[in-house]
Structure 1
Amino acid sequence: MSDNNEIKIFAGSSGKKFADKICEYLKIKPGKSEVINFTEGNIMVKSKETVRDKDVYLVQSIGLEPNNEFTEILFWMDAFKRASAQSVTAIIPFFSYAQGDKKDEPRVSIRGRVCAESIELAGADRVITMDLHSPQIQGFFKNPVDHLYAMPILCEYFMKNYDLSNTVVVSPDAGFAKEARRYSAYLNRPVAIGDKRRLYHNESAEILEIIGDVRDRDALIFDDFSISGGTLVDLARGLKERGARRIFAGLSHILLNDSGVERIENSPIEELVSTDSVNNKVITDSRKIKLVSVAPLFAETIYRVHNGISVSSLFKGVPKKVLKSSNI
């Protein structure tokens, strides 16, 4: 860093491991902080060192406990602003409420917009996040948003560990098709698309058809996240029925619950690779799930933002030093 005394990395309750990895990459010590959970459910946050005139970065995913984690971010933003921090940046590796990006039926909230506005009103000068469920969520913020992509990290992992010469990239549905084409362009492989139908507000969907040639090819499924694993497993079975050979999957964020991990373990998927954007303890003992770290990618972004260096090149490719630190 240009001046390590001017930057402070703090962690919320869901961001401690991620923040430690960021600090390791930047060769600085994490800020001392405390989160107190009272018996009636209230949360209190406190910086245990001065942040006056410092550039402060708060690391906290909105993931497995989204309501508590979101509320905690608001309190941290307010605490740092009231402590006279020069700037406050919210590092949100996974922004759960990005799923609520539109009013697609009567009498519902656009939850993503409410969360974005609240984070800024609480004091965030900037947000750094990754693979929003809907990219237009960036427009819900008035202040700068650095929207990173897991794609290069995931692609580099598969390129290093597997022969992809006879592989097809598969999108689980039409909604992810544009992103799947970005993966296919990076890997220089063709695309197939699953035709998925979701009838209710639950985590189950029905795979109706697969558009594209998958017979006698390895299949590489990409998606932004999964909770139940149902879509991934159903798609994998559909691919097998249509003559696909080996099947792999890559996720930007892994929110799998216990039953989801069990589904993956018993599925045709040989390996599921995701990032550490969410601290998900239920995947620890899985023999099929592997994590690659995007903390170095966030650390490099922080370094560039802090020193006034463009971050746009990170959207297309990742520096070798980042890949080396990402467990690839």
Structure 2
Amino acid sequence: MIFAGSSGKGFAQRVCDYIGVPLGKSQVIKFSEGNTMVRILEPIRNKEVFFFQPIGMNPNDEFVEILFFMDAFKRASAQSVTAIIPYFSYAKGDKKDEPRVSIRARVCAECLELAGADRVVTMDLHSAQVQGFFKKPVDHLYAMPILTEYVRSLAIDNAVIVSPDSGYAKQARKFASHLGLPVAIGDKTRYGHDEKAEVLDVVGEVKDKNCVIVDDFTISGGTLVSLAVELKRRGAERIIACLSHNIISEEGVKKLEASPIDTIISTDTVENPHIAGHKKFKTITVAPLFAEAVMRTHDRESLSPLFEQASERILKSVFEYDKE
């Protein structure tokens, strides 16, 4: 049975449509003083439960919902519970890199397991090592197979894949390998926790080329804008960006609208109201990929075929959604 939290219902419904099953009935109640209550509205005894909820635009409320639902499923005698978190924002807190700070991703991992999650499915963690914070199995999916096929469908000639920094260079090289393109890498620095980044240099040839910037997410849009300005300064032609997740702020949308970037392509792991109606933003669905993961988990099959290449069935569903 498939259920969803308050911010995961749209995505979960697309998964259900792909599989051909109904979305389970549940309820989230927000009390006036800020308390949250969740309720499952149908029997789940001895059922295999898959629960969808991103930790994205309202991370604290969304995370609390997941914990309460995990507990509710277990107390209602579910056979197993898989927490499907398309975007896991607290993966950014993966280390203690300054004095007296929490390793937030580890705290979240422990809470999820204590609340009752038997398995976790997520996509494009900001730090892949976060999987090691869990004692239960974690399936780490990638948006790359779908994003690369979408970029291929655009038939962009004389293109180069651009990573905004060295940290994402490995994933950028995978993008480039799938598309048979060269790679350029930005040299980015960040001076604090104010979400402001500055691109100081670009390593690689971008003059007279169409640049495809790839990254896992953006919040303020600062990195993308700074990189795009530098690419233009170095003679780049068309610039597009590909993001695994789009949690851009309202102010960030204004920055990107005024930037040299032509199009920002992102997946639907997070429903972001800020990009609605803005022509520069293009959303493609990864719900079919998660649907295949659900079916493979239910049938006790390996998920590894989903990591590097999207099947014809998945891509057909993705492009049909795009036409809609």
> How far did 1:282 drift?
1.0
Report runs of 4+ in structure 1 exceeding 2 Å deviation.
Answer: none
- Matched to 1:82, the amino acid is R
Map 1:203-218 → 2, pairs under 5 A: 203-218=195-210
Tell me the CA shift for residue 162 of structure 1.
2.5
2:127 aligned partner:
134
Residue 270 (structure 1) shift: 0.8
Q: Is the 8 A contact 2:156 2:210 kept in 1?
A: no
Alignment correspondent of 1:314: 306
What residue is the counterpart of 1:103 in the other structure? 96
Describe how 1:1-328 pairs up with structure 2 within 5 A: 8-164=1-157, 166-326=158-318, 327-328=321-322
Aligned-pair distance for 1:161? 1.6
Partner of 1:225: helix, strand, or coil?
Answer: coil
TM-score, structure 1 length as denominator? 0.96
Q: 1:263, CA displacement in angstroms?
A: 1.2
Q: How many corresponding residue pairs?
A: 320
Match of 1:3 in 2: none
| C-alpha distance in structure 2 between counterparts of 1:207 and 1:200, whole Å | 15
The percent identity for this pair of structures is 60
**How much does 1:325 deviate?**
1.4
Letter in 1 for 2:140: H
Once residues 85 and 259 of structure 1 are traced to their aligned partners in structure 2, the CA distance between those partners, rounded to angstroms, is 43
- Distance (Å, rounded) in 1 between the aligned partners of 2:131 and 2:178: 24
Q: Contact between 2:160 and 2:182, CA under 8 Å: does it hold in 1?
A: yes
AA at the equivalent of 2:4: A
Query: Amino acid of the residue matched to residue 269 of structure 1?
Result: I
Secondary structure of the structure 1 residue equivalent to 2:107: helix
Q: Are the aligned partners of 2:187 and 2:203 in contact in 1 as well (CA < 8 Å)?
A: yes
Superimposed CA distance per residue, residues 71-117 of structure 1 (whole angstroms, 9 cap, x where no aligned partner)? 11000000000000000000000001000000001100000000011
Which residues of structure 1 form unaligned runs of 5+?
1-7
Distance apart, 1:257 and its partner CA: 1.1
Which deviations, in whole Å up to 9, do the C-alpha atoms of 1:253-275 show, x marking residues without a partner? Answer: 00011111111111111111000
**SS of 2:102 mapped into structure 1:** coil
Structure 2: any 5+ residue segments left out of the alignment? none
> For 2:258 and 2:147, how far apart are their aligned partners in 1?
23
Give the SS at the match of 2:43.
coil
SS in 2 for 1:269: coil
Distance in 2 separating the partners of 1:286 and 1:314:
31
1:4 aligned residue: none
Query: 1:287 & 1:163 partners in 2: Cα distance?
Result: 19
Normalised by the length of structure 2, the TM-score is: 0.98
* In structure 2, distance between residues paired with 1:53 and 1:44: 23
User: SS state of the match for residue 30, structure 1?
Assistant: coil
Q: What is the Cα deviation at residue 201 of structure 1?
A: 0.6
**Paired letter, 2:19:** L
